[in-house]
Amino acid sequence: MTDLSQENTGDAALSVRDRHDLMHHEIRQRICLLDYLPGTRLSEVTLAEEFGTSRTPIRRVLARLEDEGLVQSHHGVGTLVTDADIAELEQVYRLRVELTELTARLDPVPPDAKFLAQFDLLVARGAEIIGKGSPRAFTQFDIDVFQALLQLTGNLPLRQTLERLYFQTKRLWLRAAQEAQLDLQEEFRIFQHELEAIQLALRAGDLEAVAHIQRAHISMSFRRLQQAATGA
C-alpha cells in the first residue's frame, strides 16, 4: 500500500502540492504501464485508502488525469480509464515531433557532470534490457529516459506540454508489444543505438543534436507502430 502519510520523520513534511503530484505520478504510471487497463473503474474510496488520504485530493488527481485524456468520468458509473487508439493519436504524435525540437531552443539547460553520470547509468541499464528486458520493463525505462531528457529545457510550459502528450501516447507501444505486433529485440536494439547517439551528443554539449535524435526517434517509432497496426 502506498501511504503518503508515512513519510520519513527526518524529512520535511510533504506539501499539499507534492502529495498531489506523487499520487498523480503513481496513478498515471499504472495507466501507462497497463496495470490499469482501458475500461478499468478507478474508485475514489479505494485509492484514498491506498494513499492514506481523503477522497477530495483523489478527486482532484482524477480530474487532472481526465484533463490529460487518460481517464473519463461517467455519470452514474464512475471514473474509467480511457482507451488509446493509434489513429486518434496521430496528430498528438506529429505535435510531439515538432515540439521536441524546441527543447534545444527554448531555455536550454546544458548538462552538468551529475546529469551526464546519470545518463551514463541509463545507457548501461538499456544494455541490460536488450538481453533480458520485458515489454513492461522497457516501457518503464523509456519513461525514465524521457523524464531525464526533459530536464534539458527550462521552459516550463514546453515541459508540461511534452509530458502531457508523451503520456497520452505511451500505452500504444506497450499494447503493441504485448500483442506481439512488434519485434522486441529490434525495438530494444534501435532504442539503445539512439541512446548511445544521445550520450555522445550530450558529452559534446550539442543539445541541437540531442533534440534531433529524439525527434527522429518519435517519428520512426510512430511509423513502426502504424505498420504493426496495419500488418504492413
Give the pLDDT score at 11. 41
Q: Per-residue pLDDT tens for 144-169?
A: 999 999 999 999 999 999 999 999 99
Task: State the average pLDDT over residues 112-132.
Answer: 94
**In the numeric block, which cell numbers belong to residue 186?**
529490434
Give the pLDDT score at 77. 87
The answer, yes or no, to whether residue 98 has pLDDT greater than 90, is yes
Distance CA 230, CA 181 (A): 10
**CATH 1.10.10.10 in the chain, residues?**
16-81
Give the pLDDT score at 3. 47
Q: Per-residue pLDDT tens for 175-195?
A: 999 888 889 999 999 999 999
User: What confidence category does residue 13 fall into, taking pLDDT thresholds of 50, 70 and 90?
Assistant: low
**In the numeric block, which cell numbers belong to residue 26?**
503513481
Kind plus residue range of the DSSP H or E element containing 33: none
Task: State the average pLDDT over residues 200-211.
Answer: 98
Q: What is the CATH number of domain 90-230?
A: 1.20.120.530
Give the pLDDT score at 7. 42
Choosing among 1.10.268.10, 1.20.120.530, 1.10.10.10, 3.40.50.2000, the CATH entry for 16-81 is: 1.10.10.10
User: What confidence category does residue 4 fall into, taking pLDDT thresholds of 50, 70 and 90?
Assistant: low
Give the pLDDT score at 159. 97
The region, left, alpha or beta by phi > 0 then psi within -120 to 50, assigned to residue 14 is beta
Kind plus residue range of the DSSP H or E element containing 144: helix 135-149
Distance CA 20, CA 117 (A): 30
The answer, yes or no, to whether residue 225 has pLDDT greater than 80, is yes
The answer, yes or no, to whether residue 99 has pLDDT greater than 70, is yes
**CATH 1.20.120.530 in the chain, residues?**
90-230
CB contact set of 41 (below 8 Å; sequence gap of 6+): 77, 78, 79, 80
